[in-house]
Structures are given as C-alpha cells and as structure tokens.
Amino acid sequence: MQGLTEFLPVSSSAHLIVLPRILGWDSQLINSSTFVVMLHMGTLAALLVYFWRDVVVLVRAFIAFLRERSFGSDPDRKLSLVLVLTVIPAAVLGVILEGPIEDFFYDAVIAIPFVLVVGAFVLWLAERLGSRTRDLRQADLGDAVGIGIAQMFALFPGISRSGITIAAGLFRGLTREAAARFAFLMGIPIIAGAGLWKARHIVTGEAGDVNLAVLAAGMIAAGVSGWLAIRFMLTYLRDHSLGIFIAYRLIAAAVFLLLLAVNT
C-alpha cells in the first residue's frame, strides 16, 4: 500500500490513515513511528535504485555548480539547483506543521475523502490547463518556486505529494512524463528527510520494542511495489492522461466515506 500509493497520485497518507481504520488494523507496530520510518526507507530505496544514474549525474552537477558558481552550458547544473530549491518550502513547513496536521486528520479521519476530491479536481484542472510543451531539462527557477510551494499542500492527507507536484509541473507547462520524473526526483530528499525526521522517535526510545522481521518485510514490500509504481507511472504517462487516477480518487473518496460512516 505504501509503495504503490506513494508514487501513484492517489495519496499514500490518506490510504495509510483510512484503510487501517476500516480494516481494524489496530496493531501498535503498524501505527508506530518505527514502522512508518521503515516504509519510507523502502520507498526511498525504490527511488534510488530506479534513478541511480540520474542521482549520480545531478549530484556531480550540483557540486560543479557550487564550485564554479555558474550553470555554464550544463542543463544538469540548473536542474540540480531547481530540485534543491523545491525541497525547502515543504521541509520548513513540514517540521512546523506535520505533527499538528497528522493529529488532526487521525482524529477527523472523515475529512480525508473530501480532501481526495479536492486533489482530484486539482489534477483535472492541471490536465485541462497545462500546455505540456516543456521537457525536464527546460525546468527553471520559476518551476522551483511554483512546484516547491505546491508541495507544501502534500502535508494534508488526501492531496498526495506525487499528485500535487505532477499537477504543478503540468501547470508550469511540463509534459506529463517530465512532471512525473521531476516529482520523483524531488521526492528523494523529501522522503529521506521525512524518514530521518520520524526516526527521532526511534533514537529517543519512544518507539519501544520492535519486531525486526516485520519491519524488514514492510520495507521490502514498500521498496518492490514502489519500484513497480515508478516504472508504471513513467511508462503510462507517455501516452495517457491522469484521468484514471482522477476517477480512482473520486471512487475511493465515495467508498472511504461510506465505510467510515458505517464503522463510526
């Protein structure tokens, strides 16, 4: 569930909050910070395995930019800086508001289906208004600002980090595949940072005793399914719209709302 919904624009946080509630998964381990950290590490591993060549190129380009303080004629230097800048708004706001927002939606879980609908509308609007004429190497500082600000809204369960960043990329004129690739690449530092931030509960001992075999199983499942989701998205969006995900979000919102009402 984490691996698939992290990279498909359907909101992993919405599924990870709502489905355990509906299915009665009240395990202390599943709802622990330790388990969440390991799932994040699984999806981070999926990103690093799939994009390792891109990561090596971009890291080298960013180091060259810092050393020479110039983009030169290398588009990878500009792209590496753009990716770094997109991370800042969400990282700052995440440290401040992630806890209160999570606590609110865990208590007011009935609000999540409505946020799923809002996210569906944003994707539909991006499909309607996006020109889809620019590739990834044409990303600029305007993209960094626009997509970086958009990513802040991913803190709300139901919006979807990949969904809101892909939508922002489309609004900025990127092709669907370029917007998805951009979203996944910028997800590497965000997911790594989120995992490390949540890992503080493990370091401080707040997580309590853990079952390492269960944690490993969760991490592997998230990693494998995440890699498959990344591959599917980049292939699918070359020739298809986001319509299937918009429809899924609307159906999921209706189903979640019904089941939550029945289980309340």
Give 7's contacts (C-beta < 8 A, 6+ positions apart).
43, 46, 162, 184, 187, 226, 229, 230, 233
**CA-based end-to-end distance of the chain:** 23
pTM, to two decimals: 0.89
Give 177's contacts (C-beta < 8 A, 6+ positions apart).
234, 237, 238
The tens digit of pLDDT for each residue in 37-73 reads 788 889 999 999 999 999 999 999 999 999 998 888 8
% of the chain surpassing 90 pLDDT: 50
The tens digit of pLDDT for each residue in 74-133 reads 889 999 999 988 888 877 776 677 678 777 777 788 999 999 999 999 999 999 999 999
The tens digit of pLDDT for each residue in 198-244 reads 666 666 655 556 677 888 898 999 999 999 999 999 999 999 999 99
3-state secondary structure the chain: CHHHHHHCCCCHHHHHHHHHHHHCCCCCCCCCHHHHHHHHHHHHHHHHHHCHHHHHHHHHHHHHHHHHCCCCCCHHHHHHHHHHHHHHHHHHHHHHHHHHHHHHHHHCHHHHHHHHHHHHHHHHHHHHHCCCCECHHHCCHHHHHHHHHHHHHHHCCCCCHHHHHHHHHHHCCECHHHHHHHHHHHHHHHHHHHHHHHCHHHHCCCCCCCCHHHHHHHHHHHHHHHHHHHHHHHHHCCCCCCHHHHHHHHHHHHHHHHHHHHHC
The tens digit of pLDDT for each residue in 135-168 reads 988 888 889 889 988 988 988 999 999 999 999 9
Strand partners, 174: 134
